[in-house]
Copies of this chain bind each other. A is one copy, B any other.
Amino acid sequence: MAHKSDIEIARAATKQPIQEVGARLGIPSEALLPFGHDKAKISQDFINAQKDREDGKLILVTAVNPTPAGEGKTTTTVGLGDGLNAIGRKAAICIREASLGPCFGMKGGAAGGGYAQVIPMEDINLHFTGDFHAITAAHNLLAAMIDNHIHWGNKLGIDARRVAWRRVLDMNDRALRQVVHSLGGVGNGYPRESGFDITVASEVMAILCLANDLEDLQARLGGIIVAYTRDRKPIYCRDLKADGAMTVLLKDAMQPNLVQTLENNPAFVHGGPFANIAHGCNSVAATRTALKLADYVVTEAGFGADLGAEKFFDIKCRKAGLSPDAVVIVATVRAMKMNGGVGKDDLGRENVEAVEKGCANLGRHIENVKSFGVPAVVAINHFVTDTEAEIQAVKDHVEWMGSEAIVCRHWAQGSAGITELAERVAEIADSGMAQFSPLYPDDMPLFQKIETIARRIYRADEVLADKKVRDQLRKWEAEGFGDLPICMAKTQYSFSTDPNLRGAPDGHSVPVREVRLSAGAGFIVVICGEIMTMPGLPREPAAEQIMLNDAGEIEGLF
């Protein structure tokens, strides 16, 4: 069975009607808005009616810094959900939706792998329930209304050189990164420079994922800063009266999506903000709903724990009032080896020393996670080439750190391979050990918040920022944005801002290139290094191989 591809495994699965999956969470079928027979949205009315119920336990799955070897964070999230169900707990998982554009670039979907997947994976990787299309439409409506306002006389006095709102498409299209539009004469408006980002980079995506309800959604959309006047006064989305229509476009998208794992356990797949310029977690709406309906909710955060878990704690949990009960840090022997200096081609050979060396990366993440007051357990996502000695090296290191590491074989075995982790995680979550608190208080000055993250999470010595950046932060404080959390945008491959610095570097500097205010989403983006918000297609795009086969099945997507 180990030789089947992900898609073969997914296609061989016996899917349950989505109504049956929902029923296990107590969702009546009239509260499920079906999309085909295997996907549904959960109606807002039903969600509203659950608000006085007690919450289940919240478990975050995060990981070491990503390496080309792959860590299997989503796979472990799915596996742990199945594992908890297998040991008799009522558990649900919450993960992000996949972006359409990248599917046509490099191969690879985003729905887990092996015997730990969510299905229907084709749909999840393509249009799914249309949420991202709705976000694209809402985002671009606002863009059209900005240029339309300028065209018809510009009553608000928008400085056309200072329009901050770009357009988006869910497509890898480098040609659109930088454009001049409104060419062709009077009827087409005032020419200006702008560009397109991929939809997942839209502030609308971040807002949808952080909004408590439709009212909050509209308030946040209204608070988007779209441009500035000549004298630098911000122009808000609500000044253009675009917030109502955008909310209408997003009304259905706000309702969480329910699908199932290969083992027919409930999976919420909803929202998917970038993990660099945004916070990289699935929606608050989905997580909250899952917590009302399940006793254990397993969710994940983007990238490694330095970026993903920190944002999960300091942005999502802080703002949504969530209190995580346990954290699982996913590590692999291969990733430890790469962190220990081994190249990708040598991963197949046993190298206990490199594993031991690379464990410094894992150890740092354990420390960091614990500093938020949440107990952490390490999941060693087992790979066929791992040797006993290498696995033991990881276990020893983790134990030495005062934590514990459990080998998981969910990729090859499904829930049967992850019951030990499931038992332990349930025990920790039930124990009430967690004493979650965010890293910094709301009222700390913005620059000091950045320094706190850099020093305590990245273990840097200093944050480098020129006067312009510091002045900008002070200006925002004066304007009332000082209580916002920080959203760091740096490389995911290292604790530092240098992607080649693996392991557990310290004493480095964190240079801040730029700061941006996402006033609607409610965070300050701090950019350290180049961040690509519109990917391109590779020389030979995966799209060339994607097609329907004679059986009408999709080939080449995964």
Contacts and interface: CB of A to CB of B under 8 A. Distances in A.
Contact of A104 (B35, B126, B136, B245): B245
A412 interface: no
Contacts of A277: none
A13 interface: no
B171 A140 contact: yes
Interface in A481-511: none
A249 B536 CA distance: 19
Contact of A179 (B104, B133, B152, B180): B180
B37 A33 contact: yes
B178 A183 contact: yes
- Give the secondary structure class of A's interface: mixed
A145 B538 CA distance: 10
Contacts of A537: 144-145, 148
Contacts of A174: 147-148, 151, 182, 187-189
A169 interface: yes
A217 B183 CA distance: 34
Given A546-B244, A546-B245, A141 B171 contact: yes
Contacts of A218: 547-548
Interface in A388-418: none
Interface residues of A, number: 76
A127 interface: yes
Nearest to A148: B537
Contacts of A195: 184
A88 interface: no
A30 B34 contact: no
A176 B181 contact: yes
A126 B547 CA distance: 29
A227 interface: no
A496 B492 CA distance: 63
A26 to B, nearest CB: 19
A148 B189 CA distance: 29
Interface string A232-245: 00000000111111
B543 A241 contact: yes
A249 B175 CA distance: 21
A552 interface: yes
Interface string A502-524: 00000000000000000000000
A177 interface: yes
Contacts of A140: 169, 171, 173
B175 A541 contact: no
A544 B237 CA distance: 11
Interface in A110-143: 126-127, 130, 133-134, 136-137, 140-141, 143
B170 A541 contact: no
A68 interface: no
A251 interface: yes
A148 B171 CA distance: 12
A363 B175 CA distance: 52
A175 to B, nearest CB: 4
A249 B35 contact: no
Given A241-B543, A247-B547, A548-B244, A171 B144 contact: yes
12 contacts: A33-B37, A127-B249, A140-B171, A144-B175, A145-B543, A147-B173, A148-B174, A148-B536, A179-B181, A244-B546, A244-B547, A244-B548
Given A126-B248, A148-B173, A241-B543, 19 more contacts: A34-B37, A104-B141, A127-B134, A127-B137, A140-B171, A143-B175, A144-B171, A144-B172, A147-B173, A151-B175, A167-B176, A174-B189, A175-B188, A179-B179, A241-B544, A242-B544, A243-B547, A244-B547, A251-B552
